[in-house]
Structure 1
Amino acid sequence: MPIPPAEDVLTRKIVDLKTQNPTLGIAKIHALLLKECPDWLVSEKRTKKILQNEGLTAIANKPGSQPAAHHVHPTSRLIPNLDMSKWTSKVRVKMFDKVKGKGLVSAVDMQEGDLIWKEDPFIVAPEWEIYDLVESGKACALCTTPFSPDSPLIINCPASTSSCRCPARFCNRLCVARSAKVHPLLCPAQNPASVPLMRFARDNQWMALGALIHCISRVLLAHQHKDAKADLDIMRSFASLGMEERAKYDFNIREPDRQTWKKAHHLVVQAFKEPKTPNEQKKLGKILKKPLDEDIDQEFFNYDPGFLRNLGKMSLNLEAHGGLYILHSHLNHSCLPNVSVRHNDKRTALSRISLITKRPISIGDELTISYVNPDLPYKMRQEQIRQWGFGPCKCERCVSEERLFQLKDVLEESNLDMDDIARELKAGLGVM
C-alpha cells in the first residue's frame, strides 16, 4: 500500500526531477514522480506546493519563456567603511550568506521597549498624500512634516520667483540647508526639465520611480560638489533585484509594464541629462557644470541594467511610509519580528524613524522587522513575501505553521481524519 514520504525526502526527489527535466510542468513532474516512486502516496497538490516553495514554478509556461531552475534572490553588499556610531552602538552589521545577504545583529542585551536608534532618510520618497501636501505648500519639502498654520519659521524655496515658481516650503533654515543635497535638480524654478518626470511619477503613483528620482538627484549633486563615491556606495549596497528579473520570474507584482519603464527612463534622461529646450538646457547647465563620470552615467542613464536595476532596488528597499534609510535597509524579514519601526517625531521630523525592541533581545540575536502584515494568515504572508521576490519565508513562525499544513496534506492524502487517528490510537492501546 502506498505511503506518504517524508517532506525532506520528497522535496529532494522533486527538485532532482525538475533539475533534470526543466521544461516539464507540474503535472508531468508529478506523473514522473509517481512512475519512479510507485510506493509513494503523493498528490499533485503537494507536488505543486513543493515546486512553488523551492521557486521552481516561478515562470509561467508562456511562448518564448525559459523555465526557472532555481529561485532568484535579491543580492546585497556591505557599505565600505560604514560608520555605525552615527546611529547606535547597540547593533553590528553581519553578512550571513549569498542568499540571505546582510543583516543586523545585537551587540548588547536589550529589553522590550528599548530605543535602538533613530534615523533620518538617505532620501525621502513620501506617500502620495504627503507628496500632495508638499506640492501644495502645506508640508516641509525636506522632512515632510505638515506645517502648523501659525508657524513663524516657514521658509519658501529661495529659488522661487513670481515668474518661475517653486511650491517647496521648508520648516526652518536647517531644512533649507539640508535640501541642497537633492532639491535643486527637482526644483521647477532651477530645473524645469524635471517637472514632466515628477508629474509622470505622481500620475502613475509610482513610489519607486519617485525614490529613484531623488537618489539620482542626490548623487548628481554630490558629484558636483564633492566625490559622489560615498553616496554611490550606499545606493549600490541596497538589496537589488532588477525590473527585468522581477518580470522574468513572474512574482505577481503589481508594477508598471515595460512601456512605462521606457517612458520613465526617457523622462529621467530628459530631466537630468538632455533637456528638450534651450532654456531648460541652460538652467540644467548652471547646476551640473562638472561632466559626469562614466560610472555615474552608466548607473542611471543606461537603460538596462543601470536604470532598471535601480528601479528594482527602490521597490525592495523603500520603508513602508516612503524613504530610503541606510541602516534600516539592513534589516531582514521575519513574521515574528523583534523590532518595530515608528515615526515618533511627527511634529518635528515626520520622515525620521525610531527603531524599538518588541521583546528582549540577547547579544548576537538578529534584528528583524516584518515586510508584510504579520497578522495575516500563513498563506497570505507567504504570497506577499514571494511578491517581493524573497522566496518563501522560513522564519520560526512560518516553519511551525508550514508543518501544520503538511500534516493536513498527509492526512488528506491518506484519507484519514482526526477521528480515524483517534480510533486507531484507542485500538492500539486497547481502549474501546
Structure 2
Amino acid sequence: MGIPSIEVLNINDKPESSNVPQESVVPHEREVVMGVMAIWKADPETETLGISKLHALVKQNNPTWSLSEKRLKTVLKSFNLLTTSSQFSYANEITSKETPGLSLPSTVRLQFTKNRGKGLYAAKSFKAGDLIFEEESPLFFNPPLDHFTLMKNGMCCSYCGVTNLKDNVKRGLDCNVCSETWCSGKCKKMDKLHSSLKHNIFGDTKKKLMNSSKWFSYSQFCFDNKWMAAYAVALIHAQCIADKTGLLASQFDAFAQVSQRTRYKAIDSTGGAFDSINGGALFVKEQQEQLWEQGHRAFNEAFPGHEVSYEHYLVMLGTFNINNVDGSMFLVQSHLNHHCQPNVSVVFGDSKTDGIKVYAKRSIGAGEELLTSYVNPEHEQATRQRELRVNWGFVCSCSKCKSDIKALEKRRSDSVAHVKEEEDHRNALKALKDSAKEGEDEFDLPVPQSSSGTGERRKSVKFDEKVIAFKETA
C-alpha cells in the first residue's frame, strides 16, 4: 500500500477566489447613507442593528469600500439616522377643531379623548360584515392628476378622469367652449367649477374669482412635478371660494391640521427614502423649499383677491396629506383613528365619486372605538412604524405593534442560538480538515446542538464548497 496524499478539490463548480486584492475606495457620505438605506429597505428588521453589525453588512455589500465603524457612525449621526437617535414625530403639533355642520349616522358617535383627540365610537353592536355607515360622496373630490393632459384634450372625463367616453358628444356631454368633456350627466352636473376655472376669459378678469390662464399654468406646474397635494389644495380652495355660505372653508379648517414643513422634518429624519406621499427627499431640502415657494406664487396668481400666506399654504398641504383617502377627503371617515389591526374596513364604490362604505371586520361592541389602518397591516412592524411616524406624525404603540416586537425579539434570540450552532459546526469541520492533514486514523466530531435542543446529529455536512480527497501513491 502506498503513502496516502491529500488533495483539496472544489465542488459546485465554484472557482477559487482570486488572491489579487481589489483597489479600495473611500465612499462619499451620500453613498454611505444610500448603502445603509438599501440594507434597511431589503430587510426592515436590520434598522435596529447596532453599529458593529450594521458596519459588517455594509462592508459585505460593498467589499471595496474603505469605511471604518467610526466613520459610519459619524455619517449616520450627521443625518440623524442612528438607531439610538430620537426620531422626529409631530403628533403633538397636529391641531383640530370641532367640525361645523357635521351630521353623524345614528350608528356612531363622536368622542374626544385626551390622548387620541377626536374619534368615532360604535353606538350599537355590530357583527363581522355589517355595514356601519356610508358617505355617499366625498366632501372634496380630486380627479387624478396624471390624467391632466387627457382631460385638457377631451380624452377623459373632466371631473372623474374616466377614459371610457362612448358617444359623449352625441349625448351633449362635451363643453361648448373648450375641448373638455364628461363621461356622464352626473359628472357634468357635479363639476361646478369647470367654467370658473377653465374658461372665464371674457369680461373684466380682475373681477373674476379665479384666473383661467393662471389656473392652467398652476395645474401644469403640479403635473410636471407630480405634486398631487398642491393640485388638490387648489381645487379645494376654489370650491371654498365659490361657496358663499363659508361652510366648506370652515369644514376644511376643522380637519386635523399640520404644516407640511413640520411633516418634512420627519421625512428628513429618516433620510426621506420611505415617504410614500412625497417620494422621498434626502439631500434636497433647499430644492423642496424652492418648490413650495414656486407653488405658492403660482397658487396666488390663480386666485387674485383670494390669496393665502405662504405659511397657510403649507398648512393646507399638510392638512390634505394627513386626511385624504386616495385623493379625496371625507367628513365623517376622517374622524377614524388608527390601529395596525383595525376593526373596520373602508370600501370605495364602483367609482370614486360614489363615496365609501365602512364595514365591521369583526364583532364590535357598543361603545367600542372604530379603528381603521392608515398603512398596510401586512407590512413589517418597523415599516409600519416608519410610515406612520413620517406620514401621520405618531409612534404607534397598538397591541399588534407590541406583539410584533415580542415576536421579533424571539426570532433574534433564536437567531443568536443558530449562529452559535453554525460556529460550532465550522469548528468541527476545521478539526476534520486538520486531522486529515495530520494523517490521524480516528477522530471524533462534536454533535451540533439543533435549535430545538435535541442534540440530534445533522444528516448532511457541507464542506465550505470543498472536499478532501485521499489518494494512494505507489
TM-score by structure 1 length? 0.65
Is residue 2:267 matched to residue 1:261? no
Say which is worse superposed, 333-342 or 252-261, in terms of deviation.
252-261
Distance in 2 (alpha carbons) for counterparts of 1:353 and 1:130: 22
User: 1:381 is aligned with what amino acid?
Assistant: R
Larger CA Rg, structure 1 vs 2: 2
State the SS of the aligned residue for 1:156: coil
Is residue 2:227 matched to residue 1:206? yes
The 8 Å contact of residues 165 and 183 in structure 2, kept in 1 or not, is answered as: no
231, 235, 248: which is aligned to 1:231? 248
86, 94, 99: which is aligned to 1:75? 94
State the SS of the aligned residue for 2:191: helix
Distance in 1 (alpha carbons) for counterparts of 2:140 and 2:122: 26
Q: Which runs of no fewer than 5 residues in structure 1 stay unpaired?
A: 1-42, 49-58, 274-290, 425-432
User: 2:298 is aligned with what amino acid?
Assistant: L
Match of 1:56 in 2: none
Match of 1:315 in 2: 321
Instruction: State the Cα distance separating 1:125 from its structure 2 match.
Output: 1.9
User: 2:383 is aligned with what amino acid?
Assistant: M
333, 338, 341: which is aligned to 1:336? 341
Match of 1:327 in 2: 332
State the SS of the aligned residue for 1:155: coil
Distance in 2 (alpha carbons) for counterparts of 1:389 and 1:83: 23
State the SS of the aligned residue for 2:120: strand
> In structure 2, do the counterparts of structure 1 residues 365 and 130 end up closer, same or farther at CA, with 3 Å as the change threshold?
farther
Distance in 2 (alpha carbons) for counterparts of 1:107 and 1:315: 29
Task: Tell me the C-alpha RMSD between the 2 structures.
Answer: 3.6
The 8 Å contact of residues 154 and 169 in structure 1, kept in 2 or not, is answered as: no
Instruction: State the Cα distance separating 1:208 from its structure 2 match.
Output: 0.8
Is residue 2:283 matched to residue 1:270? no
Distance in 1 (alpha carbons) for counterparts of 2:161 and 2:200: 20
User: 1:105 is aligned with what amino acid?
Assistant: Y
> In structure 2, do the counterparts of structure 1 residues 331 and 421 end up closer, same or farther at CA, with 3 Å as the change threshold?
same
Q: Deviations over 1:81-110 (max 9, x none)?
A: 44324xx2211122222x532121111112
Instruction: State the Cα distance separating 1:131 from its structure 2 match.
Output: 4.7
State the SS of the aligned residue for 2:370: strand
Distance in 2 (alpha carbons) for counterparts of 1:397 and 1:414: 26
Q: Deviations over 1:19-72 (max 9, x none)?
A: xxxxxxxxxxxxxxxxxxxxxxxx957xx9xxxxxxxxxx96469xxx979742
Match of 2:191 in 1: 179
Instruction: State the Cα distance separating 1:307 from its structure 2 match.
Output: 0.8
The 8 Å contact of residues 125 and 207 in structure 1, kept in 2 or not, is answered as: no
- The answer to which structure, 1 or 2, has the higher relative contact order (CA under 8 A, 6+ apart) is 2
Instruction: State the Cα distance separating 1:314 from its structure 2 match.
Output: 1.2
The 8 Å contact of residues 166 and 187 in structure 1, kept in 2 or not, is answered as: no
Q: Deviations over 1:197-217 (max 9, x none)?
A: 011111111111111011110
Is residue 2:396 matched to residue 1:379? no
Distance in 2 (alpha carbons) for counterparts of 1:176 and 1:205: 26
Match of 1:108 in 2: 124
The 8 Å contact of residues 79 and 233 in structure 1, kept in 2 or not, is answered as: no
Q: Deviations over 1:274-315 (max 9, x none)?
A: xxxxxxxxxxxxxxxxx66xxxx5xxx1102x1111111111
> In structure 2, do the counterparts of structure 1 residues 334 and 131 end up closer, same or farther at CA, with 3 Å as the change threshold?
farther
Match of 1:359 in 2: 362
The 8 Å contact of residues 109 and 361 in structure 1, kept in 2 or not, is answered as: yes
> In structure 2, do the counterparts of structure 1 residues 270 and 344 end up closer, same or farther at CA, with 3 Å as the change threshold?
same
Identity %: 24
TM-score by structure 2 length? 0.60
Q: Which runs of no fewer than 5 residues in structure 2 stay unpaired?
A: 1-48, 55-75, 202-211, 282-286, 422-448, 455-474
User: 1:179 is aligned with what amino acid?
Assistant: D
User: 2:367 is aligned with what amino acid?
Assistant: G
The 8 Å contact of residues 128 and 360 in structure 2, kept in 1 or not, is answered as: yes
Which runs of structure 2 are paired with 1:421-432 in the superposition (5 Å)?
A: none
Instruction: State the Cα distance separating 1:401 from its structure 2 match.
Output: 0.6
